[in-house]
Amino acid sequence: MITRAVQAGVPASWVAGDEVYGADPQLRALIRGHRLGYVLQIAANRRLPTHAGPIRGDQLAALLPDHAWQHRSAGAGSKGPRVYSWAWISLTPEIRPGEQAGGEHHALIRRNDTTGELAYHRCWSPTPVPLATLVTVAGQRWRIEESFQAAKGLVGLDQHQVRRWVSWQRWTVLAMLAHAFLAVATAAERDHHPAPGDLIEVTVAEFRRLFDALLLHPRHSVTRLLAWSRWRRRHQARARQAHYRRREQQ
- pLDDT for res 78: 60
- pLDDT for res 80: 64
- Bridge partners of residue 53, in order along the sequence: 50
How far apart are alpha carbons 177 and 167 in whole angstroms? 16
- Bridge partners of residue 135, in order along the sequence: none
pTM as predicted? 0.75
Which residue ranges make up each domain of the chain? 2-141, 156-249
State the burial class of residue 9 (Cβ atoms within 10 Å of its Cβ: 0-12, 13-18, 19+): exposed
**Backbone angles phi and psi of 66, in degrees to 5:** -60, -35
- pLDDT for res 40: 96
User: From the first residue on, what is the mean pLDDT of each consecutive set of 10 residues in the chain (250 residues)?
Assistant: 94 93 94 96 95 94 94 74 90 84 93 92 96 93 84 90 88 93 92 85 88 79 83 84 74
How far apart are alpha carbons 238 and 249 in whole angstroms? 17
